[in-house]
Amino acid sequence: MKPGRKVKVTIPHQKKEFHAVVSKVLPQFDAASRTLKVRLEMDNPAYVLRPDMFVDVEFPVTLPPALIVPADAILDSGLKKTVFVDRGNGFFEPRQVETGWRLGDRVEITRGLMAGEQIVVSGNFLIDSESRMKMAAAGMQGTAKKPGERVKDPVCGMEVDPKSSKGAGLFIEHDGKAYYFCMPECKQEFVKNPQHYAEKKNGGRSLETPGKPMAKEPMDMPDPARNTPHD
């Protein structure tokens, strides 16, 4: 903020807009209220502005390039922040993100989302509830399925239903193979080091050579004939 910068001044509850110029930035900073006083100069036609009147002042701010999404697109549970990425065909992938600054109804995304991805702007609570219900129903139905129809999450080892995980967007294709996950956190952990978990899956218990049973040493058993009295 420097002298000479133009700002916009509006009167609350009135559709009147004025333009002012910053004439001076006072060096006194109030730490208690975290405010800084700025002196503006502007015309006052028809004496619309009067002493002790409150107005709204809008300062133009230049921000560095960033990935920005609407604030309504972020579902904040208090422990994590989630956005839903549209994968097409009615599939929505819950993606945990990290946020930066917030300006009005716009929020910066610092991690978890890539530019160009389509996200859900409204209705996140409905989608999140539906996703949880589908996963819960899939878990209940999975108990009646055959073991061969379920696969293991390569990160946590939990058994999941491939069809349900794919429907919830919890799957990744890596090196020509499909990997399914029980929750978004496992998927994100896999993305950080896919080779590690891919090798872990290939070397899992299902591919291990079954071990031979250990031979037991013969035990001396008493001969019942010796303990039987003879005439």
Q: What is the pLDDT of residues 66-111, one digit of tens each?
A: 899 999 888 887 888 988 888 877 777 888 899 998 888 899 999 9
Is 143's pLDDT higher than 50? Answer: no
pTM, 2 dp:
0.41
Kindly indicate the confidence band of residue 123, based on its pLDDT and cuts at 50, 70 and 90. Answer: low
Burial of 37 (0-12, 13-18, 19+ CB in 10 A): exposed
CATH number attached to the domain at 67-122: 2.40.420.20
Q: How far does CA 11 lie from the centroid of its chain?
A: 40
Distances from the Cα of 130 to the Cαs of 15, 26, 33, 116, in angstroms?
43, 54, 44, 25
Burial of 198 (0-12, 13-18, 19+ CB in 10 A): middle
Please give the pLDDT value at position 21: 92
Please give the pLDDT value at position 225: 46
Is 222's pLDDT higher than 70? Answer: no
Domain spans in the chain, listed from the N-terminal domain onward: 6-58, 67-122, 144-205
Please give the pLDDT value at position 8: 92
Q: What are phi and psi of 169, to 5 degrees?
A: 80, 15
Distances from the Cα of 149 to the Cαs of 91, 161, 163, in angstroms?
21, 7, 10
Burial of 79 (0-12, 13-18, 19+ CB in 10 A): exposed
Kindly indicate the confidence band of residue 145, based on its pLDDT and cuts at 50, 70 and 90. Answer: very low
